[in-house]
């Protein structure tokens, strides 16, 4: 089983996250932000991962520290669970429609973090979730998951649909990237990732 548990405690958040890449497609726990929990559920379901989360953050201030720190620990858990990355496909790509919205997620688990984020969300909030935090989550995940991550919404009108297509697409693209292609080496001319 490729899994990892990460604990991160700061003056702003206390987070424990367990990730199993070969899971049952379930999310357990809460971030304290209803819509974000819905997105983490979609990520787990569409990626086939098991994610367990225990998070307490300064939500009386705003969503920033909680959402960003969950992205950090998820990225760290992914890195730890993948280990030396031998035998994985490395790359993943998915186009995800959600009603009128269409998103494209492309991943390279290269070890070189980079985020390209081309998304316009036309509302400031979805429930209590501050939509500008979507980018911060993807940035934290890309950096701490050591991945090259390209996230784009090609078109869309409804903010909920746009963000939902991003998280579903992330699940599918990540599932492809972490899947096994065969062989015991890494997919790199350098011999390491």
Q: Tell me how many domains the chain contains.
A: 1
pLDDT tens digits in sequence order for the chain, 193 residues long: 899 999 999 999 999 999 999 999 999 999 999 999 999 999 999 999 999 999 999 999 999 999 999 999 999 999 999 999 999 999 999 999 999 999 999 999 999 999 999 999 999 999 999 999 999 999 999 999 999 999 999 999 999 999 999 999 999 999 999 999 988 888 888 888 8
Residue 72: give the domain boundaries.
3-178
* CATH (domain of 39): 3.30.230.40
User: For residue 98, with 0-12 CB atoms within 10 Å meaning exposed, 13-18 middle and 19 or more buried, which class applies?
Assistant: buried
Assess if residue 192 is contained within a domain. no
Q: How far apart are CA 47 and CA 172, in angstroms?
A: 5
Assess if residue 16 is contained within a domain. yes
The two three-digit tokens of residue 53, written as one number: 């989360």
Q: What is the pLDDT of residue 183?
A: 82
Q: What is the pLDDT of residue 64?
A: 97
Helices 159-178, 34-47: crossing angle, 10 deg rounding: 40
Q: What is the pLDDT of residue 189?
A: 82
Helices 64-82, 133-144: crossing angle, 10 deg rounding: 30
Assess if residue 80 is contained within a domain. yes
Assess if residue 118 is contained within a domain. yes
Q: What is the pLDDT of residue 99?
A: 98
Assess if residue 188 is contained within a domain. no
Q: Answer yes or no: are the C-beta atoms of 161 and 105 closer than 8 Å.
A: no
Q: What is the pLDDT of residue 173?
A: 98
Assess if residue 191 is contained within a domain. no
The two three-digit tokens of residue 4, written as one number: 């990892």
Q: How far apart are CA 110 and CA 159, in angstroms?
A: 31
Q: What is the pLDDT of residue 127?
A: 97
Q: What is the pLDDT of residue 13?
A: 98
Q: How far apart are CA 115 and CA 138, in angstroms?
A: 8
- Give the predicted TM-score (pTM) of the model: 0.96
Helices 64-82, 159-178: crossing angle, 10 deg rounding: 20
User: For residue 70, with 0-12 CB atoms within 10 Å meaning exposed, 13-18 middle and 19 or more buried, which class applies?
Assistant: buried
Q: What is the pLDDT of residue 159?
A: 98
Q: Answer yes or no: are the C-beta atoms of 187 and 114 closer than 8 Å.
A: no
């Amino acid at each position: 089983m490729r899994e990892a548990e990460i604990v991160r405690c700061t003056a702003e958040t206390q987070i424990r996250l367990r990730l199993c890449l070969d899971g049952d497609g379930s999310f357990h726990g809460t971030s304290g932000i209803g819509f974000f929990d819905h997105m983490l559920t979609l990520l787990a379901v569409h990626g086939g991962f098991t994610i367990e989360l225990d998070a307490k953050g300064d939500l009386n201030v705003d969503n920033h520290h909680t959402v960003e720190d969950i992205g950090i620990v998820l990225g760290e858990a992914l890195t730890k669970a993948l280990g030396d990355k031998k035998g994985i496909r490395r790359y993943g790509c998915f186009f995800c429609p959600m009603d009128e919205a269409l998103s494209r997620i492309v991943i390279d688990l290269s070890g070189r973090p980079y985020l390209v984020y081309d998304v316009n969300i036309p509302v400031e909030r979805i429930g209590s979730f501050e939509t500008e935090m979507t980018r911060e989550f993807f940035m934290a995940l890309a950096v701490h998951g050591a991945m090259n991550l390209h996230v784009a919404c090609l078109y869309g009108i409804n903010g909920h649909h746009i963000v939902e297509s991003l998280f579903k697409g992330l699940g599918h693209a990540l599932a492809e990237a972490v899947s096994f292609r065969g062989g015991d080496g890494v997919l790199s001319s350098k011999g390491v990732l």
